Structure 1
Amino acid sequence: MTGRNRYHHLGWHHGIELFEAAFSTQTFGRHAHEGFAIGAIAEGAGGYVCRGESMVLPAGSLSLMNPEEPHTGHAVAGQVRYNMLYASETAVRDLLGLRHLHGFPAIAPQDRGLALTRALAALARHLGSGITVDHRVVVEEAVHDVLAQAFSHYGRAELRPAGREPAAARLIRARIAAGVEAGETLSLAQLADEAGLNVSYLIRSVKRATGLTPHAHILQARLDQARRMLLDGMPAAEAAIAAGFCDQAHLIRQFRRHYGVTPGALIRH
């Protein structure tokens, strides 16, 4: 019996893939992946034969495999549910700005605090949430979160420590505000290039300096623009599109989340 298996291929983002697996009787014969495989068991228990050892991975376990590492796969009992990200060595080096990549020494460590499990679930949620104007930025930040956690905590990678970078943070916020006002589609690569920073370092440093990721700043800028338009008397449906939201419903959801009220609750005096 197969559950809700879904496979996402990000052709626009280094060919990274995410497998959302939910099955009870499906098995995988001995195989290997060209790049790294980074997964987390969310429910049930998965089974592997890898590195000459038969192992059971209960919920809360990670599955971390290096390129070309042969293994099998199956559900041990009942349904197993997990998310697995696949990324080439080149993609990992480029996205994290790493010169040295050691790989994972342990196949099935416990996920400390379930942080990586949550990061993979967040990526799956973003991929399944539908296309929005900033969809790629959201997904790229989620991919970065998975890779940064996996390789810094379990792969002995030394990421460049995030600096406060106040000048870069100011530049990014100003660039985002101008881009939103001009109706541009913003990208992390573009923002990082203009700031002269690696994308990974940009995400971590902007968050350290401001408490928000670049996408959170983009969303805030869109909400600020929509709010100004609404106060000027523009109908919500028109303000939503003008500010870069998919539709009025999208604006209403985000408006309520950030301001605690719907656009209709704005009172002009």
Structure 2
Amino acid sequence: MTRAGGDTTGAPRWGGTALLRPGVLALTGSIGTTDVHAHHAVQILTATTPLTVRDGHGIGHRGTKVVVPADAPHRIEVGAQEGTVVFLEPESLPGRSAHLRAVHSGWTVAPVLTSTRRRTLAAVVDELVEHLAPVLTGDGATPRHPAVDDALRLLPSLVAAGPVSGTDLAAQVGLSVSRLTHLFTDQVGIPLRRYVLWSRLRLAVMRVQAGDDLTGAAHGAGFADSAHLTRTTREMFGLAPSVLSRHVSWDLEAGL
């Protein structure tokens, strides 16, 4: 998966397996090079050999663990034949935690992200999220409000049907929209509107994997057209959905 022509002869190329759930996109396999770009998701990279990520100021960040903050221009100058990349929603608790660590402590002072060898990608992601936002996963986590559980059950069919109205969803679960959005962010760890967007991306990838072209997948997931879907994936991850679909086998978890 190269970003706008980042292919270099002899260099590792993007490929492997991926996991997608609301707030998290994770890939394990080979990590390719990219051109300069920026994306909204926080990016955590780890590899068995040192990576080099050059930021928008020309400073190289080299190590086996690198964190790229949200919206930071960068390019992967040296990739790796074996590694893991995790993109986190920056408005989520783990994403915000990783972003602040990179901003305040440097890109190579990375959160714990262990190898996927002999472990599933889902287990690695779960460990990372627990490390970054233990309140979401620890024994002391507050039980979800029944209305939040109801909203989570309703959202897949609502997303598939078209635009999702927070006001309508709140009415269906018996809360005011302000109360629902507050509870949802607090107890799910990601704002409702961002959860809906990640759910649309997941649905689009599911449809591509089922055989739809990008236009059909985009319309089926509630995007205006394939250009809208492509813009969204580039803005969030620096990647095009067509490249992801071609070179990656997907594990499409519902997640939360």
State the TM bucket, normalised to the shorter chain: 0.3 to 0.5
Pick 1 or 2: higher relative contact order, CA cutoff 8 A, min separation 6.
2
Q: Radius of gyration: which is bigger?
A: 1
